[in-house]
Amino acid sequence: MKKYYTFLPFAFSFVLLSYFVVSCSDDDKYTPVDDLPIATNDVLTYTAGMPVDINVLENDTTGDEVDPATVSLVDGVDTDSNGTLDRKEVFGEGVWSVNSEGVVNFSPVLTFLGNPTIVSYTVMDFQGNSSNAATIALTVVSGVVVDLSQVPYAKLSDYNFFVGLMKDQNPTLGVLPYEPASSLFTDYALKKRFVWMPEGTLATYNGDGNVLELPTGAVIIKNFYYNNVQPSNTTRIIESRLMIRKTTGWIFAEYVWNAEQTEAFLSMNGSNTSVTWLDENNIQRSTNYRIPSEGECFVCHKSNEVAIPIGIKPQNINVPYNYVTGSQNQLAKWIQMGYLENTIPSNILTTVNYKDETQSLDLRARSYVDINCAHCHQSNSHCDYRPMRFAFSESADLVNMGVCVDTQDMAGFPSALGRIVTPGNINRSMLHHRVGSTDTAVMMPLVGRTLVHEEGLQLIEAWINSLDPCE
């Protein structure tokens, strides 16, 4: 009996083993496991206006091993006929492309400063199996660098205010162009103005005719240039003036452009440069253009002996500007950008473009003297000892415009110039005489020009001739 019970397990084990041996030997139907490649979504940032490379395979670590040369952009095009979709253009944004190593590149157009449309890609393994579609999402960040412990920098390019060629003056993300209703005359130089503020900060309203209260770290940028410069008929940027708000207040930073128009270098001592150009009427003009020193800047940009900006006032920028995205009121744009608190009144007293002949002669003349003269002729400024008050908010009173007001300190001036403004008589008006002079001891403004602003002088003449006689 013991033999019987011992034999049966042995026999069963032998049969079972034989079965498996036979089964394993029949491998003609065996299929090895083939893992599919798995693509993983990519999320990262890129600097506005700059191309960016994305190594999409770096995080594709699960699934089967992939072939880098097979990365394809969903809905892209095959530019080299190798079976992969290696290029995708998104209108108004830029171009996506893939190289042979599977690295995806996004190159934005200069005017695009946002988050690009999310794109997808796939990749194959070495057996020809395709992965799922994974996404690439980019978030734009500004490249501006303003370290208050280091500014002013030695070169304008150190701030990264512009994208592409710096001379083209295309602002990067967060660098907002602006333009006052009327422009200060500077020997017919053209100007492009910009403002930048640190992320999370904004300006506050402090009255229609007062400079907006900009936050610490803010920068105001003003580029001076001429078109149709002779003999090559090209554009030449002369200088870039910066005002930077540090914790201790505003500082000046003056940058002079090189002849190659590739860079501008810090220069605070002042200089002159000759410029000959064709104006908008194709008339050739020349000037020994004055680039101001720090001291010259301070003559106009001060109140109570403290440096301040001039043009960024609600009264001056409560007008439309033609942005890349379309025309929009500048104050509304500032609020939309998060650069200005949304507490400004709806009835701002606003200057006009003094060139706009559809406006009244009175408004045009007052706007002209406001932008060209009021920074000195107001309380606590360089010429506050004079009776004129040329700020737009004060000049509706003709006495503040100098009408029928006696002049002072007549030494060296013709006796006929006994009044600041004599209605109907420019030859007896000190204002007209000084605006029409290039004598540094006589002319007004004191600094900022070497030429007479002919159109401005004509406006002052027309305004004087429109006034009623003194009583």
Cα dihedral across residues 243, 244, 250, 255: positive or negative:
negative
DSSP 78-144: -SSSSSS--EEEETTTEEEEE-TTS-EEEEE-TT--SPPPPEEEE-BBTTS-B---EEEEEEEE---
Nearest by Cα to 258 from 277, 274, 237, 243:
237
pLDDT in tens, 36-81: 899 999 999 999 999 999 999 999 877 788 999 999 999 999 999 9
Question: 432: part of which helix (H) or strand (E)?
Answer: helix 430-435
pLDDT of residue 61: 77
DSSP 149-208: TTPSPSBGGGG--EESSGGG-EE-TTEEEE--SS---STT-EEEEEEE--TT--BB---T
Query: Which positions of the chain have pLDDT values less than 50?
Result: 1-25
- What CA–CA distance (Å, rounded) separates 315 from 362? 16
CB distance 71 to 57 below 8 Å:
yes
Residue 153 C-alpha from the chain's centroid:
18
Domain annotation for the chain: domains and CATH numbers: 37-141 (2.60.40.10), 157-337 (no CATH), 361-466 (no CATH)
pLDDT of residue 123: 96
pLDDT of residue 76: 96
- What CA–CA distance (Å, rounded) separates 260 from 367? 37
Nearest by Cα to 367 from 168, 118, 180, 194:
180
pLDDT of residue 63: 77
pLDDT of residue 16: 41
Report, in angstroms and rounded to the nearest whole number, the Rg of the chain calculated over CA atoms.
Answer: 35
- What CA–CA distance (Å, rounded) separates 446 from 377? 12
Beta partners for residue 66, in sequence order: 125
